Amino acid sequence: MDKIIITVVGKDTVGIIAKVCTYLAEKKVNILDISQTIVQEYFNMMMIADMEHADASFAQISEELEKLGEEIGVRIKCQREEIFTKMHRI
Amino acid sequence: MLNMFEVIETNNMIEHEKLDVRTITMGISLLDCCDANLDELNRKIYEKITSYAKDLVKTGEEIARDFGVPIVNKRISVTPIALVGGCACKTPEDFVTIAKTLDRVAKEVGVNFIGGYSALVSKGMTTAEENLIRSIPQALAQTERVCSSVNVGSTKTGLNMDAVNLMGQIVRETAEATKENDSLGCAKLVVFCNAPDDNPFMAGAFHGVTEADAIINVGVSGPGVVKVALEKARGANFEVLCETIKKTAFKITRVGQLVAQEASKRLGVPFGIIDLSLAPTPAVGDSVAEILEEIGLERVGAPGTTAALAMLNDQVKKGGVMASSYVGGLSGAFIPVSEDQGMIDAVSLGALTIEKLEAMTCVCSVGLDMIAIPGDTPATTISGIIADEAAIGMINQKTTAVRVIPVIGKSVGDTVEFGGLLGYAPVMPVNRYSCEKFVTRGGRIPAPIHSFKN
């Protein structure tokens, strides 16, 4: 497993999840978990994904997701899982 | 599995509360560079540092990208140069050539500061150490990125009052040598008592002789995170307050631990320590003073400040210690003036004085830090300030330090702009009565009775 956390924050619109998922599928990144909520019309999504079999580097995926976010008008951030597990799990 | 609230909490800390890793500092031993030929010594120093640190900045940037957390500074500390250069350097001017080499190598590998232009003279000075100390004003005037420190005392050895006296003069000379830039050289010069061997923070970082050939030390930060956490504990009692600080310090330090382990793995250099210090910046919301005010002080400097700081410092350590496998360096809350907007405001309002800051250094991690004083302050008065601070460190078995800037041509009421992370500072008044006859007596103040533990 090579887990990454993808967070998407921005104004809610049609097809945000679809676009992110399509991109990840193209890069062979496996989605393990998705949670999503809307807070005051703002779309918040967190995705846990495994890039063990991905055919692109973390740097490339991170950069392209950021670009994709700009196209949709949301902010997409890609981080390795450890920063969260280290902070929230003993 | 992680939940969304945890992920949002972490990202809020980074995006809105200024959580960052303040520095990855690579300590590099230069002991094996010693050579009687000065040119050869400079060449070896350049090559050794480049070989270890060539990928430091790039690796730091990659780690920051992978985890989405800013790593503000990438720095280098080296073996105290008085030890490395002793064999080749016969004059202060010889030592300045090494400072220039360090500056050149810092620019070459892309680090913003390199520390270790230092001498450890807590008991006595060798000729080489005295030459290095006398070279500091020119070394700092002729370089940009070199940082210098001198250890003038310790709990075990007492205070070297000859060195204390000399350092008062050196601080003044450094101010004169850099007067075109508001005496900026003094911002890169620290006088220590009980200096640690593994401090990653500038200007006092050096790579002690007890250390391995190379090591990665990491300094965390996060006053803003603590401040925001405490906003949620307004009006709560001390038990709740302390628990909140501890939990927050734990979370902040875990990020530092992760970054340190990754840097160590990717660079192939052993992990040394995490420094738990809460390091402020001049940015609003990144201030230790604001934490103290959130705890309940109208302004930092008010009665109660020392108690509040003591509690804060202790809770930060308690929370941080469990989050990291090795803790060291300075580890505590920093209270610099120019680098902390809340401190600057308190000084401007007259709430905070040098005397109160001195009291605060009895319980915080370092000392009188980044304080601008009038340009006509006599060298002996600066020595007196150093002696007072060193005595606090010696008696309390803690690290203390002095980094004051006598700003040539400026006096109380003026403001000095240092720029960047060094911030700006109002010039603070200093007691005008003389201590000349005291600091010029010569010799040493003996080690305190409680240091004899054998």
Tens digits of per-residue pLDDT, A20-39?
999 999 999 999 999 998 87
Q: Is A59 in contact with B65 (Cβ distance < 8 A)?
A: yes
**Nearest CB to B251; choose among A77, A81, A87:** A87
**Which chain A positions have a beta carbon within 8 Å of B62's beta carbon?**
59
State the smallest CA–CA distance between residue A49 and chain B in angstroms: 12
Q: Is B68 in contact with A48 (Cβ distance < 8 A)?
A: no
Interface probe, candidates A83, A85, A89, chain B, greatest B C-beta count within 10 A: A83
pLDDT digits (tens, 9 = 90+) for B398-424: 999 999 999 999 999 999 999 887 889
Mean pLDDT of B335-344: 94
Among chain B residues, the shortest Cα distance to A79 is held by B67
Report the DSSP beta bridge partners of residue B78.
B28
Res A40 pLDDT > 80 = no
Res B333 pLDDT > 90 = no
Q: How far apart are CA B113 and CA B115, in angstroms?
A: 6
**Nearest CB to A37; choose among B2, B4, B9:** B4
Interface probe, candidates A32, A86, A90, chain B, greatest B C-beta count within 10 A: A86
Tell me the residues of B at the A interface, defined by beta carbons under 8 Å apart. Answer: 1-4, 6-11, 62, 65-69, 251, 254-255, 257-258
pLDDT digits (tens, 9 = 90+) for B51-83: 999 999 999 999 999 999 999 999 999 999 999
pLDDT at res. B366? 87
Q: How far apart are CA B293 and CA B57, in angstroms?
A: 36
Question: What percentage of residues in chain B have a pLDDT greater than 70?
Answer: 100
Q: How far apart are CA B222 and CA B228, in angstroms?
A: 10
Report the DSSP beta bridge partners of residue B404.
B371
Q: Is A44 in contact with B4 (Cβ distance < 8 A)?
A: yes
Res B365 pLDDT > 80 = no
Residue B252 pLDDT grade (very low, low, confident, very high; cuts 50, 70, 90) = very high
Q: Is B67 in contact with A37 (Cβ distance < 8 A)?
A: no
Residue B348 pLDDT grade (very low, low, confident, very high; cuts 50, 70, 90) = very high
What is the DSSP secondary structure assignment for residue B429, as one 8-state letter? Answer: P
Residues 31-60 in A contacting B (C-alpha not used; CB under 8 Å): 32-33, 35, 37, 44, 46, 48, 58-59
- Mean pLDDT taken over chain B: 95
State the smallest CA–CA distance between residue A11 and chain B in angstroms: 16
pTM reported for the whole predicted model: 0.94
pLDDT digits (tens, 9 = 90+) for B135-164: 999 999 999 999 999 999 999 999 999 999
pLDDT at res. B421? 78
**Which chain B positions have a beta carbon within 8 Å of A7's beta carbon?**
7-8, 11
CB–CB of B299/B352 below 8 Å? yes
Q: Is A58 in contact with B255 (Cβ distance < 8 A)?
A: no
Total CB pairs under 8 A between chain A and B:
58
From A46-60, B21-35, B63-77, B271-285, the region with the lowest mean pLDDT:
B271-285
Q: How far apart are CA B364 and CA B310, in angstroms?
A: 6
Q: Is A37 in contact with B69 (Cβ distance < 8 A)?
A: no
Give CA separation, A82 vs A62, A64, A78, B407, B408, in Å. 16, 21, 12, 46, 49
What is the side-by-side strand order in the sheet with B21-28?
Answer: B271-275, B214-220, B21-28, B71-78, B114-120, B146-151, B189-193, B400-407, B368-374
Residue A68 pLDDT grade (very low, low, confident, very high; cuts 50, 70, 90) = very high
pLDDT at res. B57? 97
